[in-house]
Structure 1
Amino acid sequence: MNSSERAELLPAFLSEASTDLGTLRAGVANLPAAAAAGGDDQQLTTLSIVAHRMRGSAGLYGFPQLAKMAGLLERILEARPDLNGAQGDTYVTLVGTAVHMIGVGLDDITHGRRETDLGLRFSRAGGAAQLQAVLRAQPHAFVPRSTQHIPDDLDDAADLQPAAAGSLSDTLRAFVREQAEVWEYFAPEVREHLGHLSAQLDAPEPDLDVTFRAAHTIKGSSFMVGLEPLGEFAHRLEDVLGGVRDGLLRIDTPLRDELRRGTDLMTAMLRVAEGADEPVQEQLEIQAARLAQVAQGESGVPAPASAAPPADLPVASPELATLRVPARHLEGLIDQMGALVTSRSRLGQSLGRLDELQRAMQDSQERFGRAVRDFEERYLNADMLRVAEGTRPERAGPALAEDFNELELDTYSDLNILARSITELSADFSEVRRRLEAAVSDLHAEHEDMGKLLRRLRVDVTQTARVPFSQVTARLRRWAREHRDRLEFVTRGDDLKVDSATLQRLGEPLLHLLTNALHHGLGTPEDRAAAGKAPRGRVELSATLVGSFLEITVRDDGRGLDFLAIRERALMRGLRSAQELNAMEDDEVARLILLPGLSTEQQVSTVAGRGVGMDVVATTTRQLGGELLIRSRAGEGTTFTMRLPTTRRIMDVLQVQVGTVPLAFAVASVRALRELREPELRIGEGGFEAPFEGRWIPVVDLRELWGTPATGETFSLVVLSTLAGEVAARVDTFGTIGESSVAPTGSLLGALDYLSGTALSATGEVLPLLEPQGLLRLARRPDLWLSHERTGEQATVQGRLLLVDDSLSVRRVVGRMLERAGFTVDTANDGQDAYERLQQGVPYDVVLSDLEMPRMNGFELLSALRGRPTTASLPVVIMTTRAGEKHQRLAFSLGATDYFTKPVNEALLLRRVGRLTGAVV
């Protein structure tokens, strides 16, 4: 919903919410009397339905704090603990406090204020204490949802500070002295992420995922190497950015300034660690307190002048004191080598043109030769000359040479002279061609020598830029030692040489994989003992070279992925509908954990629950041009395998043509080239399958993917190897193989997981470099990308829908979404109203219904529709805030077609409804 639509529909929401608030207040006032009469169950049920409706409406309109408060009230009312006397009074008081806070939030929204601190105000109004009292009295009545702790006052920020004044500078400098080797890779990494953070804060529309990931990475890296002050402050910064990403804070100019001051302070801490003299101790205390205020929604305190760090001071870099080759120099050499590869390719093209010129000259010489021979036979043959003389006209007057025999002198006619000239010209052409042939031969030899030299240079520079894999495992072992009571950490392949630029990027994702294993995979010692396993888990990290790829595997012996929890979280976040999730294989569900913000952890902490760790792993893998495979078995553990090219700047690529579009594949991924006729293939579940080495592999038609016209019955297939198996890509023609300079995809193309980068051809043309594992995923889900022919009738007919919900706000907002897509939408305010409409014979293509409604709920409506022959096959889609498995199971058992959670994802809703109606959206 955009801002204009939100402003237009806001009065309707406030009107409905005010009515519901009045119902809640009246119900709370009647609770004591109802309890005394022994009939408070019906009253609590009614209030719970109202709170549920308000929760859904507030979430739909983008008021998350109000939605959470209504959700808390709903859970309190659903619990209905058996309390008597003073305890019962505490429960009623708790309900009243929650209702009062809902009223406060609505009042803020009505007057244009933000409702970002409702949770804090609820706690300060005594709600948290009342809730704890109820829990102590009835601990099993209900389990409240975990929320992130927000400190009640700014004194908590003092926990970030060292005990003694001035000790922060000493701590930072001591770290550099004692961990000089660690600082060499840690400081550039932090500065890189601080640069990303600053760039996004200066952008008109910051990428919240990038900013949050940068702060999260700085925090994790700082804790891993043991620099706690920087990690703790980065955690404060992450809290604020998390509030922005979750919609609790608005990234306006004051907030940007606060974030910039925090970024500048972390930069200053790095300078102090390297020897600069700056008052970071005082700045840290001030800025930590201010970030705590911002996280609570209290951003009105003016920034003190001392909060701004001084300008950058020139500081000697530690790498100047060592004889090691700086990594940036090697990076520059590799870049120059990439340009040299391109230059050599262009030289090859020039040689090709010279070859063509040589062949053309040879053809010209042959034509001249034939013309000379024909001329000689016709004009210079002796018999032909005599015949010609006999036919000459008699010359007038005495002949000057009549005393000579005609055989004693040569005859020089114009034709004779021309013939001799052509003969000489032909001889000249032969000489020029011979010399050109020799020059081209020398140039070819030079080209071959240059290629050999370049290959040696490429190998030498690449080997020089490689460092032992142990450089990253050493950092991870330090982290593992801190958790040795929970896990045993084993590494293999420490001596393996890895490209330094790649290795620098691997520390962060590998740390996230270990953290994921510790907090999600291994399980608690009690759970492991119950499963017959050792209390300490085992995590194995191994690195091996397989052909032209580096394969890194992180394996744990834990409980495996909780696919049910992943499906439930994906449904709650609106990533997929329940029907789509149920149709997905486990390996597809496993890849959902790579999406930003998706975590199965119930409680947010400094190390887990943010849903950012696996996103970092997937993003880094793709940026390195690699692929990631996830394998998990219940009770046995989970294995993550990263497959990365050993060289990512320069590689051998196979160029192909799809229509008029040139594409490229990394030769290291190509298993074979095949040309098959259509009868040699078969039709599988996902489309065509081709035979390869005794098995059938899926085929992706790149002509369909690129939208080019499909012609011909011959299948030109490039068979590609991936960690999950082979896949065949259909192209129009095969091209040549050559070295190419390769660059990763930018942010614009980063969402296309079947692209791993771009390759530069010899002509300077940019070629999309295709990623085999992404193509394999496309082959398995062709319905997500294959284009279907759309007739003119389909383009105009969208279908008629019935939207059933007791919330006026939901009916208006969701109805407008569907109408914008071209659907005709009728609404009903509950299940009974909808059932009566359907009994009247009005034809609908799809029914979208809430679950919890007065008179007739969604389950009852679904059962009634499936019991009538005329509506038994009518698609019915459930939209509710209930994401639990039991609700889904009951809905599908009654015949639901699909299942969504509120607030509904517009793109997902339109895609699913469009498919159910056969419409174009």
Structure 2
Amino acid sequence: MDSHRAAFVAEAEDGITDLNNALLALEADPEDAEAMDDVFRVAHTLKGNAAAMGYEDVSDFGHALEDLLDAVRQGDREVTPELMDLLFEGVDTVEAMVSEIADTGDVSTDPTDLESRLREMEEHGTVGGEDADEDGTAGAGDSGSEATDGPEAGADTADDATDEGDGDADDISVPDLPDEAAALGEPVAYADVTVGETAMAGVDAALVLQALDGQFGEFVTVPGPEALEDGEYEERFDAFVADADPAVVAEGLGALTQVESVATTLVGASESGGDAEADESGEADADAEAGVDDEGANAEPEVEDAADAEATDEGATDDANATDESDSGESSSGTNSGSSTDSKSGDEIKSIRVDVDQVDELYGLVEQLVTSRIKLRRELEELDAQSDALDELDKLASSLQDTAMDMRLIPFSQVSDSFPRLVRDISRDLDKRIDFEIEGDDVELDRTILTEMRDPLVHVLRNAVDHGIESPEEREAAGKDPTGHVRLTAERERDHVIIEVADDGGGLDPDQLREKAVDEGVKSREAVEAMEDGEVYDLVFHPGFSTAEEVTDVSGRGVGMDVVRTTARDLDGSVSVESDPGEGTTVRFRLPVTVAIVKVMFVDVGGTEYGIPIKSIAEVARADDVEEVHGDEIVRHEDDLYPVIRLNERLTNGGAAAAGSGAGAPDGPDESGGDGPAEADAASATTDGGVTDDGMLVRIREETRQVALHCDAVLDQEEVVVKPLDGPLSGTPGLSGTAVLGDGDVVAVLDVVSL
């Protein structure tokens, strides 16, 4: 995908999300003028960008969508459920077209039928019926002056510009003519072009250059084309156009959605004040054809920085100007234009757009650095050598590791922004009224985690709307507000993020769950009767288990919740359910902020070394307080009983021992510098070598799993790169992945939840 197409797709995808949310706001309050303006502005920009890129199918369809929106904005059409459904269908069609452009560069979707329905709604106020009112329609040509398209619109815009500019020529200061413009054919028109704030300065400038080349041929810009395409200008730049009328230049450039405003005059005429043309509306229509030629001579220079990187749906980093931080003295024409390119410095560049593949490659290199650091330390320990340089390397590697991890973090909004439309559509299908809110959408998580969690969150939201929230009639009969409430929240807790989906619906009936479990053969009658209500709620994660009375298109087939739990566990997280019958249900995810590089404690089990994630460990102690109750081994801690799992027996029976390394690694100091409770307890427990006659107990944190793991010895602690299991070993109970140590040994990392 070329850089311009990638940038168009990225901006279009953001615009589609904004348009969905703006339409939701308009549907909630049809009198919200700000929401109406947002809807129209985003639709107008999408249409204009498509026209500038040459995607006429998208532009023409966007034109029909925009005309209907303008009829609503002008008060000619009311916001009705039928109209909103049609608008949302239109947004979905645009999304499908943009997806095709991203995949192939071409549009195959035929929107003719929907376009005709949009026109029909615009003209008659309904589809397939008589006029909604008697006093005329809001046709495509008269739907509002601010959205009028075609050549006449351009003329009107130019006339408006002339009206605004007449008598104001003294306000347009024409800079000295640059050397490159000396050979331009007269008359020379000067244009002060303002792009304004933009996330894609280089791309927007390139589209303006293409329009100049297509319409006027010869022109000179300050800064030069290469600098402009690199985004090296401060929201505005100067253009000198050969043999051109300022009014025509104002009309042509003012029609571009990339241009916020343009002021024009003849070179040398600013003192007379008679030929100034200006367009400050910022809302000129993009359908005035610009004759864009992607192969234009002035559009050829390469965009060397992040504008070349393909935009991705994960939103690799913050939206930012795609700029190169290097000096570009040759790109400036050296005039007194006031564009400040000579003083351009890297300090003014706040962020850049980076291809997500480059971030992943950097992250992979950091993983290799961590492994090499461990190997080097172990070799020095074997030689009984000390090195201050290695300690310094540890600090630098840790800082680089933290930076690389932070670069992979993206806001939760990258996923959650599409959920309001999802909830709206489902509630409409089910004839339910739902108030949906999102909190904490600025919380950041690892890109991989967010990508994997999108589908589980969609499934949980579907369940909340379908199973959780009752119908308006049922809610009123129960004394509730007929409008249900669903809340999605994300909150950072140290190195984890808590994501909750809560509803105020009917909740889960634990007795009904028990009966379902028995009827479907999930549990025996004796087992479910002995279960606490909190344990009963976890039955919803059993494969094939469902409380739905009937299967719907939304949910109820008994698939999905087991996948939700599996996905959370694969990400080294957890999921739980809390419910209050008649009051509502909350599904809570606990997920790590980042993945891959973790701190583990190594233990010896029958001569084989295994790793246990430090974050799962509550404490380490000698195994001299093990009791036997009803034939089961337990250990007591603050009045709680922890069942004892003997790893030697469990791993041998499970066949997982083959994944471990050979003999346990030699003891060594904790290079990670951890000072939490688990690290302190582990250090004290291994003071005498970590081995006792009865072995050692590793007590797991209660919120993870209330068990204590028995091993022969506790070895050391290290940060390692954990690789997930692939192929036949994928999904092996008790194993979360493997780690390659510095000496080349492969150590299995245990999954304490499924062990």
| Structure in which a larger fraction of residues adopt helix | 1
Taking structure 2 as the reference length, the TM-score comes to 0.48
TM-score relative to the length of structure 1: 0.40
